Structure formats: C-alpha cells, structure tokens
Amino acid sequence: MKKTVLLLSLIFFTNLGFAQTDKLENLCQVFHIPNKKDTTTFIVFGTKEDLKIKKPLFLFRQGSQPRPLLELYQRKFYPQLPFRIKPYQKDYHFVMIQKSGTVFLADSTYMTQLEEGLKTGDPKIFTKKYQENNNLDKATEQCNQVINYLVKQPWVDTRKIVFCGGSEGFTVGANLVANYNQFITHTILFSGHAGRRFEFEIYQIRDAVKQGQIDADTAQKQIEELYKLWEDICKNPKSTDKSFGDTYYAWHSFSRKNLDNLLKIKIPLYIAYGTDDKEITIGLDYLPLDFIEKGKKNLTLKAYPNHDHQFFELKKDTSGKVIDKIYRGNEVAKEWMEWLK
C-alpha cells in the first residue's frame, strides 16, 4: 500500500512536468532570513545566473498540510507546485516559502510517511513547532516578510509583484493583500471561499445525509456538537494545546471570513474555482453580488464547471457518478498568466 501511494504521487508530479534536476542549485536558490526566534526559509526558482536578470515577482503560497517544499526521488527534485512554471520563468522570479516546522526536502521514504502521517496525525509529521506556527497570523507574517525582503533586491522588478495562493493559501492571500503588504500589484486566488473554514465541517454532515450515509436527526445532533466546539474554540482562539485535528489557533485564525478581506482589496484580483469543489462550502458564484453592491470593479472570477478542488475535470456517467478525472491545473494557470499580461 505504501509503495502504491508513493508511485501514484510521483506519477502525478511527473505528468505535471515539474522541473527536475540532480543538483538543487540548478533548480532553485535557497534563502534564510531571521524571523523573531524563528527563521523564514524560502526558495527562488532558477540558477544563480537567473538572479542577475531583473524580472517581476510571483510568490506562490501552497495549501494546508505540512508538506515539504521539495521531494526527492531517484536523485531528482520535485517542487510542490500545482502547475508548470518553466514556460513562464523568463517572465517572473517564482518564489515559495517553507512552512515553519516542516522539512525543506523529503526523500521517497519520508514522502511515504508523509502521506500516512497526514491521515493519522503522526507526530513525526505534525511536529510541535509546526502545530505552534500553523495559523493565519504566522503564514501572513512569513509572506509579508519575504516580499518586503525581495522588493529590495536589484533583480526584482517591483512594477509587478504577484501573490498567488490556493486553498489555505487563498485565505492567506486575502488577509495579506487586504491588511499588510503594499507592494503586491496583482492577486490570484483559487480553490477557496468567502466564508469560514469551520463551515466545511457542517457541510460534510449535511452532505452525508444527502448521500444516505446518516439520517437527518443524527446529523442535527452532530452539527449542534460542532456549535459547542466552535464556542470553545472562540473562547480559546490562540490555544495550541487544545485541538480538533488542527489546533484551536489554526481553526480560529483560518476561519476568519474571507469576504471581509476580499472586499478590502483594491488591486486587480483574479479568483478561480471548480464548481464541483466539495471543499468550498459557500459558493463563489455569489461573490460578484457583493462586489457589485460595493461598486468594486477589480474582480475577475473564473468558474470551471465539473472541476474539483485540485482542478481535475470530472468525467461522469449518466447517473452522475465520476468515472474519470483529467488534471487541468496547467490550463487553469495558463489562463491566469494570460490575465497578468
């Protein structure tokens, strides 16, 4: 089973055509900058020679879970990116930040443990440092720090600074751009929603009723228990000792309403999502109503019918059952790269 998980993951990466090399320095340059009692580590893709070329900045913030920045398999590095960046590297310096408390590089053995650990809460994966720093405030702080550092570098063209974030990165980007960083000129967010992260827990229970997995009375009792849990989270909003899978701090911070921040953004904003994304509890279909009401015209909203959270196009039979999945992430990214032009 573990070998199967590993091979499927690697097939996925290879099919995406991510950059591969047998020398790390040929793939990216690694930076470390002090961050209070911690250190923020990030990478800029490209060689040392690439850092002599002045280009705009494109910072990608990944989604949830303590995944490494890079994975090593058969002496080749695989970046944790959801789309090919090679076609666009002539136009941008691409950047990714290591999450505090996670490993920078994982070999194939660790990668297998990672897949299992994400499901079981393995302490080797969910380290104490990661749990303490897995919150919106820390994530926003890291992104803000890295951008503020990079705009001072002579090889960064500050006329275009792009933030791109998906899923959890959607929430990070909305918070960062709305409240903190003045250098960002364009924002791309995907696979997120306008509401609270915690709402998904309620949605899952209601969906289980629709699927015939539990009855309505049982579902209502479970939802009422979630209300009590949320009340306890709100009483202990920064607790890293109390948890419900993630810490209370993670739940409370990542469950701030995205809508409030999205409406505060003044720069061009591009949002993409799949209409079959089960992790979006409040549909982004309604977002234009809020922007129109406020007289805001900076939103470009792109919906992908029959696409899921990771932008797999779902092929269904006549009964609606999914019979095949086709990855469309590169096509989705191509459209927002065209938008940036």
DSSP summary character for residue 106: E
Scanning 165-215, the segments in alpha helix (DSSP H) are 168-179, 199-210
Domains, the chain, with CATH or none: 2-195+256-340 (3.40.50.1820), 197-255 (no CATH)
- Gap between the Cα atoms of 125 and 122, Å rounded: 5
**Which is it for strands 55-61 and 299-304: parallel, antiparallel or unpaired?**
unpaired
Query: How far, in Å, CA of 28 to CA of 296, rounded?
Result: 38
Per-residue confidence (pLDDT) for residue 11, from 0 to 100: 34
Contact by Cβ (8 Å): 129, 23:
no
CA angle 96, 99, 102 (to 5 degrees): 120
**pLDDT tens sequence for the chain (341 residues):** 333 333 334 334 434 444 455 688 889 999 999 988 889 999 999 999 999 999 999 999 999 888 888 888 877 888 888 999 999 999 999 999 999 988 888 876 666 666 665 655 666 666 888 989 999 999 999 999 999 999 999 999 999 999 999 999 999 999 999 999 999 999 999 999 898 999 999 999 999 999 899 999 999 999 999 999 999 999 999 999 999 989 999 999 999 999 999 999 999 999 999 999 987 766 789 999 999 999 999 999 999 999 999 999 999 998 888 999 999 999 999 999 999 99
**Can you tell me the distance from the alpha carbon of 75 to that of 6, in angstroms, rounded to the nearest whole number?**
15
Q: Give this prediction's pTM.
A: 0.89
